[in-house]
Amino acid sequence: MIDQNGKPVTKQALKTYMATYNAGVRGSKEFGALPRALITICDNLVLGKTTYVKCVEGQVQLSRRKDGSVAGNGL
């Protein structure tokens, strides 16, 4: 995955992005700084399904929780 600056995302950066996605308010400055691809992936992730995002250090599994948040295994 590539961030807004065109650089590959690290696992630490993805962890920060996920915290912002789960707690952020759409339209806020922080939410606007998230990579568009990550927002699209997380928005389309349904309960009980998983997907993988590639980082510099390897793949991270993302899954939608019952409370509506998205969790990353391996972060």
Q: What is the mean pLDDT of residues 10-30?
A: 91
Residue range 2-12, pLDDT digits in tens: 888 889 999 99
Is the model's pTM score more than 0.75?
yes
pLDDT of residue 62: 95
Listed residue (30, 6, 7, 8) closest to 19, CA to CA: 30
Q: Tell me: the pLDDT tens digits for 25-45?
A: 888 898 989 999 999 999 999
Q: What's the farthest any 2 CA atoms get from each other in the chain?
A: 33
Mean pLDDT of the chain, nearest integer? 91
| pLDDT score of 74 more than 90 | no
